[in-house]
Structures are given as C-alpha cells and as structure tokens.
C-alpha cells in the first residue's frame, strides 16, 4: 500500500467501530469461527497446556501464565483478543517464573490479533489500540533501587505483574516467528500497553523473528534484563519502535523499524527510575538495524539517548533520520553524555542518509539551558572517527519500502564484538535475504518490494 494511504488510515478504536458498522461484510456478527476456545482466568493461570493450531483461541481479559506453568503454542496458531479499555483490556502475560514456548515457522507463524480479524483484510493494517499485547516478565537484573518493579499495563495490586531479580541467565521460553498486531489498548490516561513488553527477561530466553505492527504505544519495550533479540520488525506504531529502560543490557541484530509521521523515535535508550551506574548500566549492543522514518517526519531525533542510557549502535542504516541522534547532557555523573565520554556510548560505522531532509547528525542537548557547542564539536568529530557516512544506501521509502540494498559488500564495517552476533558484510538489517517474507503482515500486505 502506498505511504500516502497509510498517512490517512491511522485508525483509532472508535474509527474502527464505525467501519465495522458501516460495512456489513466486515461486521463482527457476520464473522464466525468454528472450534473456538475462550480463555478466561481468575488467578489460576493457563496451567501447563498446549494451544494447538486446529483451534482458535480468544483471550477474554488478562490471561496469565503463572510461576511454574508452561504455555506451549503450536506453529500456525491464531490467538485473538477481545477489545476493551482500562480494566477490561485483554492480553497475555507470562509471569515471573512462567514459560512460553511459541515456536512458529516462516511459512506458519503464530499470530496474536484482535477479535474479528479474519486475516484477510477485515481489520485495516494500520488500525491501532484494539487489544492489549504480550508481556513477558523474568528474574533478570533491572536498574531500580529495589531490583524489582511492577510492569506498566498491569494493576500494581497484581503480584504476578512484578519483575526483576538477580539471574541474568533466566529463561522465560521462546518467541519465534510470531506476529503481534493492532495492540496497545489504553488502560489509563496516557498509559497504553506495548506490543511486546520484556520486563527483566534473561539471556536464555529466545526472541527470534518477531513482528509488532500497528501498536498504539511502543512496539517493543525492554525494562532492564539481558535478553538477546534478533530479526525484529516494528512498523506503524504510535510511539517509539524500540524503547529501553531500567538498565537493559542485552544484544540485538537485524532490527527493522518503520515509523509514520505520528510515531516518535525509532529507538529510545534511557536509564532507570533510580539510576545506579553499572548496576547494571543501560548498555545494549545493537548491530545491523534499518530505521526508517516517513519522509516528512523532520522533527525530533531518530535515536535518543537520555537519563543514563548508553550502549552501541553499529553497522546500521538510518533513512530519513529527522534530527539525527541525540544525547542528553545533564552535567550529572553517569548521564548519557558521560557514557559517551567514557566509551560506553558509541555510534560506529553507520549510514545516516537524510533523503530530502537536512543532513542528520549526532548532537548533545541540554534541558538546563547550558551551552553545548563544545560538546557538539566533540560529537561531530567522533562521527568522523567512527566512520559514519551519508551515502545513499540504495533502499527507499518513496512509494512502498525497498529494504534490500543493491550490494551486500559494504566498506568500513565495525567488527562484531561477540560470538552471539552473525558476522555479515552488509550494513542495515538486510543483505540479499528478505527475511520478513512469508510470516509478517508488513510483507503480506504489500508494503515491501522484493
């Protein structure tokens, strides 16, 4: 679908209801699913159970996988959720100590969506905020004063919403070839649920080939933890594509973010509610991202480091990067600019291609009214040292998205710092393999060219 159509179809929940009423072919009353099982739980959790692909599942309210329980979801299973705001929001929550084994396949993904979605266009691709989302909570370290916290989107009185601990090797299970669509229900004023929320999730958890599309809030948000994630797709969300808080210190590779004009940042990296430098630091290491903003999205940075957020972004492509990459300078020890000064924040061997916008840059800003011209000169010089380029990477977002670069042999590659990363010769999330094909709504709906 051309991008100008997308700009005019950022539908709210109310708008969707009007559409469903106006067009009988799409009305919920005409949409019948046989062999459907409604999942409602009131404290006992799902139990240790398998959801099979020969059934259709409907989440009625918040459904928990409790401590000690394992929910297995077969490839090809579709899980729908009832609409509802506030306390009536529906979602799947894997509590601390619970396990989810959701192993889809490229040709047979697992899909989370809203009730009434026939997977054939009854719900517009860009419709947001129709149900909650998927939340996974673990025992890994987070950067708060107590080492624990209550996850957003769940009432603070619910003990199964607590996350965080001391075990970075914690294992919450597997999400592989999973598509999460149309979530982000508002549960309170300015408080929506993320598409995929990862709170204190440990590094033994596998997050591999996951799509979040058209969520009303962030696509994927990390609250501390050390989980590693590869091949993530976030498109058309209402806030940030990727958001990191409370000392997230995992690794990521092959991430795609596509933001619309009403989205916020492609990636926001912040610290903790009570930042304690190095306990743990908010220091993710991310390689091979493709971050795309709408051509007319000129205000605000594409990537934002603030409030003790650091880490590394390497071998990536930022297309239409708006105001570039921002680093907050607060004059406090351990803030984002201090992390840059000590080598714990780096932007290395990336391509920042502005398209029709002014050339993007790496810059400091201060909310204290301080003069940061000296800091900006240092940052500007660092981009040269880090071999940042402004060349056309050969991808585009002019009509539909062309994501594969014309070459897979790029010069000036940053070395891969850890055996977890796949060593490739290209920048951005794609080489010659269009790995979103076959399992994502983004590709299925025609937004991406081969």
Which pLDDT does position 13 carry in this prediction?
A: 43
- CA nearest 421: which of 245, 256, 289? 289
Q: Among 75-84, 107-116, 149-158, 194-203, which stretch is predicted with the lowest mean pLDDT?
A: 149-158
Cα–Cα dist 358/435, whole Å? 31
Residue 80 is predicted with a pLDDT of 98
Better-scored residue on pLDDT, 261 or 204: 204
Distance CA 254, CA 333 (A): 32
pLDDT of res. 401: 92
Give the rounded percent of residues in the chain with a pLDDT score beyond 90.
Answer: 69
List the structure tokens of 120: 């054939």
Length of the chain: 450
Going from the C-alpha of 133 to that of each of 204, 269, 431, the distances in angstroms are 22, 21, 30
At 175 the pLDDT is 98
Task: Give, in order, the Cα–Cα distances in Å from 127 to each of 62, 234, 312, 355.
Answer: 21, 14, 33, 28
The string of pLDDT tens digits covering residues 356-365 is 656 668 889 8
Q: In this structure, what token pair is assigned to residue 295?
A: 């051509």
- Rounded Cα distance between 77 and 57, Å, is 8
For position 2, what pLDDT does the model report?
Answer: 44
Model pLDDT for residues 25-83, shown as the tens digit of each residue? 343 435 567 788 999 988 999 999 999 999 999 999 999 999 999 999 999 999 999 99
- The enclosing H or E element of 426 equals none
Q: Are strands 186-188 and 191-192 parallel, antiparallel or unpaired?
A: antiparallel
pLDDT at 11 over 70: no
Dump pLDDT digits (tens) for 186-217: 776 566 789 999 999 999 999 999 999 999 99
Is pLDDT above 70 for 6? Answer: no
Q: Which pLDDT score, from 0 to 100, does residue 179 have?
A: 98
Report whether pLDDT(110) > 60: yes
Say if residue 61 is exposed, middle or buried (CB neighbours under 10 Å; 0-12, 13-18, 19+).
middle
Tell whether the model's pLDDT for residue 8 goes beyond 50: no
Q: Quick one: pLDDT at residue 90?
A: 94
CA distances in angstroms from 346 to 187, 241, 340, listed in the order given: 36, 20, 6
Q: Which residues of 309-318 are buried (b: 16+ CB within 10 A; e: fewer)?
A: bbbbbbbbbb
The values of phi and psi at residue 212, to 5°, are -120, 120
- Spatial neighbors of 376 by CB under 8 A, at least 6 apart, are 363, 364
Task: Report residue 294 as tokens.
Answer: 């709408």
How far apart (Å, rounded) are the C-alpha atoms in residues 35 and 134? Answer: 23
Domain boundaries, the chain: 1-239, 282-288+302-450
């Amino acid at each position: 679908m051309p991008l100008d159509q997308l700009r005019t179809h950022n539908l709210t929940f109310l708008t969707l209801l009007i559409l469903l009423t106006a067009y009988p072919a799409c009305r919920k009353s005409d949409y019948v699913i046989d062999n459907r099982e409604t999942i409602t739980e009131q404290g006992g959790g799902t139990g240790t159970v398998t959801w099979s692909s020969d059934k259709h599942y409907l989440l009625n309210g918040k459904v928990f996988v409790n401590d000690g329980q394992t929910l297995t979801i077969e490839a090809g299973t579709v899980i729908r959720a009832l609409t509802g705001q506030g306390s009536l929001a529906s979602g799947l929550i894997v509590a601390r100590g619970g396990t989810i084994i959701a192993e889809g396949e490229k040709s047979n993904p697992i899909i989370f969506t809203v009730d009434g979605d026939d997977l054939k266009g009854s719900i517009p691709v860009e419709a947001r905020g129709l149900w909650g989302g998927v939340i996974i909570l673990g025992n890994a370290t987070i950067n708060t004063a107590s080492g624990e916290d209550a996850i957003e989107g769940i009432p603070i009185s619910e003990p199964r919403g607590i996350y965080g601990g001391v075990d970075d090797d914690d294992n919450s299970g597997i999400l592989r070839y999973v598509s999460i669509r149309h979530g982000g229900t508002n549960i309170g004023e300015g408080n929506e649920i993320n598409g995929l929320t990862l709170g204190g999730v440990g590094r033994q958890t596998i997050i591999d080939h996951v799509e979040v599309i058209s969520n009303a809030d962030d696509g994927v948000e990390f609250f501390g933890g050390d989980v590693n994630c590869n091949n993530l797709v976030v498109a058309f969300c209402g806030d940030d594509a990727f958001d990191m808080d409370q000392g997230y210190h995992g690794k990521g590779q092959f991430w795609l973010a596509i933001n619309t004009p009403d989205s916020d940042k492609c990636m926001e990296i912040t610290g903790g509610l009570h930042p304690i430098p190095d306990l743990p630091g908010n220091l993710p290491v991310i390689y091979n991202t493709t971050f795309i903003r709408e051509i007319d999205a000129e205000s605000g940075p594409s990537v934002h480091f603030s409030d003790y957020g650091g880490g590394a972004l390497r071998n990536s492509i930022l297309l239409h990067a708006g105001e570039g990459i921002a680093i907050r300078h607060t004059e406090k020890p351990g803030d984002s600019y201090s992390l840059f000064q000590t080598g714990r924040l780096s932007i290395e061997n990336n391509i920042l291609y502005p398209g029709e916008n002014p050339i993007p840059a790496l810059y400091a800003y201060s909310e204290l009214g301080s003069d940061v011209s000296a800091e900006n000169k240092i940052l500007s010089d660092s981009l040269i040292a880090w071999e940042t380029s402004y060349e056309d990477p050969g991808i585009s977002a002019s009509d539909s998205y062309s994501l594969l670069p014309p070459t897979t042999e790029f010069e000036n590659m940053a070395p891969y710092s850890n055996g977890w990363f796949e060593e490739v010769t290209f920048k951005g999330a794609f080489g010659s393999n269009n790995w979103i094909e076959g399992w994502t709504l983004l590709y299925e709906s025609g937004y991406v060219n081969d």
